[in-house]
Structure 1
Amino acid sequence: MLKLDQTDLRILQSLQADGRRPYTEIAKQYGISEGKVRFRINRMMESGVFEFVIHTNPSKIGLHVQAIIGIVTKVGYRDKVAMELADCKEVRFVGAFAGKYEIMIQAYFPSNDRLIEFTDLYLSKVDGIEATDVFLELKDYKDSFSYIDLADEHI
């Protein structure tokens, strides 16, 4: 596993704020060379520390309904069910959890009718699912992929 130092974390924090920020600006901000910024970014990407992705606003592309769905599986079926759900285009996130639900998914739909179709026509037929609970998002207060905060550090 790649060991990250303060310079790596600073670079990551800069990219989290604006992934389009030129390497020359990052280098200038932290007093290092552009080559060092480029090298460190490439090294972190190759090590799987991060990847560049486009984070779309679902409602701006016609996906107005977001649901978090808790899934109870039959004993021994968690992985099979999770892998099947991971193949669904509507599903953005699939995770195994401890607690009431073995699996939680996040999915986006253009309408409530499409969500109903997904639960009634698709989930009801997935072998290994015993029960589901659908949680409908009413309002989004925070949706972030920024995990690094060096605000308390003396950069």
Structure 2
Amino acid sequence: MAKLDKKDLIILSHLQKNSKVSYSEIARLLNVSEGTVRTRINRMLKEGVFEFVIHTNPNKIGLDVQAIIGISTKLGKHEEIATELKTYSEVRFVGAFSGTHDIIIQAYFKNNEELMNFVNKKLANIDGIESEEVNVELKQYKDSFSYVP
């Protein structure tokens, strides 16, 4: 993968602010050709630097309960459990962590009943989970996918 330069980072910054900004507008702001912007964006897409996604507001589509769930696993079961957790539609994020929990997931539910069913039926049936800690979001202050200054 080619190293990102200042122009690449500026392009990313503009796309993060407004993903609908035109290549010609970015080119004008950078004082380069539209083809330069297109080439750089295509290269970054090909190299996996970023991807275009639709970030849906969970509350607007009826998912009113967000939970961060810390999971402790039996030794040797970590990968198997993470692989299974990835298949659940409720789960948005699965990550391995050091510290108190081996795996942390972020999941969304319509209501507390769905969350309880997820924990008591789905998680309870996964072999190798020793314990879990459920944290329900009470209020959100920031939700961002912007990593470019």
C-alpha distance in structure 2 between counterparts of 1:50 and 1:7, whole Å? 15
Q: CA deviation at 1:2?
A: 2.2
Q: Which residue of 2 aligns with 1:35?
A: 35
Amino acid at match of 1:75: L
Following the alignment from structure 1 to structure 2, what is the Cα–Cα distance between the partners of residues 123 and 36? Answer: 49
Which residue in the other structure is 1:122 paired with? 122
Matches within 5 A, 1:47-62: 47-62=47-62
| Overall identity of the aligned pairs, in % | 58
Instruction: Report the counterpart of residue 109 of structure 1 in structure 2.
Output: 109
Amino acid at match of 1:12: L
Deviations 1:76-115 (A, max 9, x none): 1000000000000000000000011000000000000000
What is the CA–CA distance in structure 2 between the aligned matches of 1:33 and 1:51, rounded to whole Å?
22
Residue 132 of structure 1 corresponds to: 132
Distance in 2, Cα, partners of 1:4 & 1:122:
42
Q: CA deviation at 1:31?
A: 0.4
How far did residue 6 of structure 1 move? 0.4
Task: Name the counterpart of 1:93.
Answer: 93
Residue aligning to 1:141: 141
Q: Which residue of 1 aligns with 2:66?
A: 66
Letter of the 2:133 partner, please give it: D
* Aligned partner letter, 1:31: N
Structure 2 match to 1:80: 80
Unaligned runs of 5+ in 2: none
| Cα separation, 2, equivalents of 1:32 and 1:140 | 39
Output the aligned Cα RMSD: 0.5
Alignment partners' CA distance in 2, 1:27 and 1:135: 45
Whole-Å Cα distance in 2 between the matches of residues 135 and 48 of structure 1?
32
Counterpart residue identity of residue 104, structure 1: I
Q: Deviations over 1:15-52 (max 9, x none)?
A: 00011101111000110110000000000000000000
Matched residue type, 2:146: S
Letter in 2 for 1:2: A
- Alpha-carbon distance in structure 1 between the residues aligned to 2:87 and 2:122: 12
Distance in 1, matches of 2:20 and 2:140, equals: 25
- Unmatched runs of 5 consecutive residues or more in structure 1: 150-155
Residue-by-residue CA offset, 1:90-149 (whole Å, 9 max, x unaligned) = 000000000110000000000000000000011001011000000000011000000111
Provide the aligned length of Structure 1 versus Structure 2. Answer: 149
TM-score, normalized by length of structure 2? 0.99
